[in-house]
Amino acid sequence: MSVTVGDLLQLPSLRDAEVIAGRGGLKKIVSSISVLEAADPEILNDAMFHNDEFFGSEIVITGFMNVTDDFELQCRNIRRLAEGGEVGLILYYVGVFLKSIDTSLIQVADELDFTLICMPKNRVDLRYSEVICDVMGAIIKDQLSGTSLVVEILERVAKLPQYQQTVDTVLKMLSDRLRATVILTDSQLRVLNEAAWPRTSSGLHAYLKASELPKPSGAPCGFSAVPNGLLYREWIKTEDSTNMELFIIRDSEPLNKNELQQATESVQLAVSLWSQQHERTVVAELVKAILLDEPLKMRRLADLFNIDIASVHTMWVFSGNKFSAEHADAAADCAARFCKTAFADIYDSYLVLFMDGPCTSSDTEVLRDTITEHLPDGVYLSTFTNLENPTDVREAYLANKEFLADAKRIQPQRLCFTGDEIVFARICRSAISSGEEAVAKVLSPLNALHRRRYSEDLELTLSVFLLDSDLSVQVAAELLFLHKNTVKYRLKCISDCIGFTIGQMPASYRLFEAVAVQRLMQSE
């Protein structure tokens, strides 16, 4: 039976420790132990837990040395650790460096069933090494006791959140358990997943095709990319009979027959149970590679799924509600009716859809309405077209993330925004941020109206006509609860004041900017 968090409390170095929160996690299995003194949880997000992937069933030692007085950051660190699959935290030097344990920390740990263990308080003679040695000793002893590797891994995966129950997670667990690099490829040796041991050895898949490969289920071969490395090869059967290949690279110490058999069985079961999720994981990695502007990884993953990535010039970003993998699948399926290439995933709480179409504006409207029917209520859509490369994609994504809220304030009637409207919101925000003189210059086209009677009515009509009605007198009249002839009269008065017809471009651009900046400032 594998070592649990509760088992660790019986170890000599933890016997005097106290569980102060997260008792619901005492039965979670512990695979390793690590020390972490991170201050900013976003560093954890970017450097370790990419897009909520599984990192490991570790228990973590910390003294929160860098954030001893920042309870909010402590809570955020715990949330990121729990999301990454970590099982608990052992707190050191409470009463010395960390003056107290805030109740908010206890509440978060209880909410997440993330066990919080407090070492004896007011002690400066505590050593991390004692707990590390005890914990690793217990884990290694358990591994040598003959515990079924298959049962252990499946049991651990079953206790994880559904989004972490993937083939990739199983390979990482297997890699840690065997202390070996584990690589899963398709039948053409194109890599699907790689879990490196140690982590610094990532990228060994690149040497497979250039190496002498052993026969499946045969004796291992030497692997020149790793000094004293041994390369094992096994078939992994799939439902569609295309088959995959499992490669295990062990440094110096050979795998015994039982270890190899159980490793193969673990991956086989994982592929059978979570093959659909495995495909989703790879698509998620492709979306992430595009948004992070990682061209090499993007091309490798696109090649794996035969996606013509060069043809993809359109990105739709949905926001404003919680999305699931099913929503992403539905969006991609709808887009596939209008496009040759379409794929989608959830990234950073947004649903992001990439495609090579639609080709016409009417198809775009139909696709937008069709996808919206499959999504929760209150969803906003931002559409970006003519994106030439991953850098354009990333810039568009970041612009949407930063300025969509401003676009909503400028045009509150809208649920769908174009990339140009997001850029327009950025321009308006930049003007406001530049100071009073810049704002006065942007608002100057409205000065002529200030000299007219009922200038507030004229400005309101102008704002609604330009920003909310797509230059439709009828729509503007409905929004203002006026007769359309009244709106026509007011627009004529405005045109007489400023010297050109409202809506005439490019003369009207400065008016657009003026009423948008004014509305943005008023909303704040």
Residue 313, burial from CB neighbour count under 10 angstroms (0-12, 13-18, 19+): middle
Q: Are 383 and 407 in contact (CB under 8 A)?
A: no
Give which of 453, 449, 454, 474 is closest to 464, Cα–Cα: 474
> DSSP 3-state assignment of 172?
helix
> DSSP 3-state assignment of 59?
strand
For residue 328, CA distances in Å to 309, 342, 351 come to 18, 11, 6
Instruction: State the pLDDT at residue 157.
Output: 77
Terminus-to-terminus CA distance in the chain, angstroms?
Answer: 59
Q: What is the distance of C-alpha 58 from the center of its chain? A: 21
Q: Is the dihedral of CA 277, 278, 280, 285 positive or negative?
A: positive
CATH code: domain 5-143 is 3.40.1390.20
CATH 1.10.10.2840 in the chain is located at 434-523
How far apart CA 129 and CA 152 sit, in angstroms, is 27
> DSSP 3-state assignment of 166?
coil
Instruction: State the pLDDT at residue 155.
Output: 72
Pairing of strands 115-118, 88-91: parallel
How far apart CA 180 and CA 201 sit, in angstroms, is 10
Global pTM value = 0.53
CATH code: domain 308-427 is 3.30.70.2730
CATH 3.30.450.40 in the chain is located at 149-284
Q: Are 82 and 105 in contact (CB under 8 A)?
A: no
Q: Are 51 and 347 in contact (CB under 8 A)?
A: yes
> DSSP 3-state assignment of 493?
helix
Query: Sheet holding 191-195: strands in order across?
Result: 191-195, 181-186, 244-251, 229-236, 221-223
Pairing of strands 380-384, 350-355: unpaired
Instruction: State the pLDDT at residue 495.
Output: 86
| Full pLDDT tens readout for the chain, 524 residues | 578 899 999 999 998 999 999 999 998 888 888 888 755 544 544 444 444 455 667 899 988 887 888 888 888 888 888 887 888 999 999 998 888 898 999 999 999 999 999 999 999 888 889 999 999 888 888 777 656 677 777 777 777 776 677 788 888 888 988 889 999 988 888 888 888 888 888 888 888 877 788 988 889 998 888 888 899 999 988 766 667 899 999 987 898 888 898 889 888 878 876 655 556 666 777 888 888 877 766 776 776 566 788 889 999 999 998 999 899 999 999 999 999 999 999 998 899 999 998 989 999 999 999 999 999 988 999 999 999 988 899 999 999 999 999 999 999 989 999 999 999 999 999 999 999 998 999 888 888 887 776 678 888 988 988 888 888 999 988 988 999 999 898 888 888 888 888 888 887 889 999 999 999 998 87
For 95, half-sphere exposure in the C-beta direction (CA atoms, 13 angstrom radius) is: 9
Instruction: State the pLDDT at residue 266.
Output: 86
Residues with Cβ within 8 Å of 183's Cβ and at least 6 positions away in sequence, in order, are 191, 193, 194, 195, 204, 205, 208, 246, 247, 248, 249
CATH code: domain 434-523 is 1.10.10.2840
> DSSP 3-state assignment of 60?
strand
CATH 3.40.1390.20 in the chain is located at 5-143
> In the 3-class helix/strand/coil scheme, how is 236-275 assigned residue by residue?
ECCCCCCCEEEEEEEECCCCCHHHHHHHHHHHHHHHHHHH
CATH architecture of the domain 149-284 equals 2-Layer Sandwich (3.30)
Instruction: State the pLDDT at residue 383.
Output: 96
How far apart CA 249 and CA 216 sit, in angstroms, is 14
How far apart CA 231 and CA 214 sit, in angstroms, is 7
φ, ψ (nearest 5 deg) of residue 145: -85, 0
Instruction: State the pLDDT at residue 41.
Output: 46
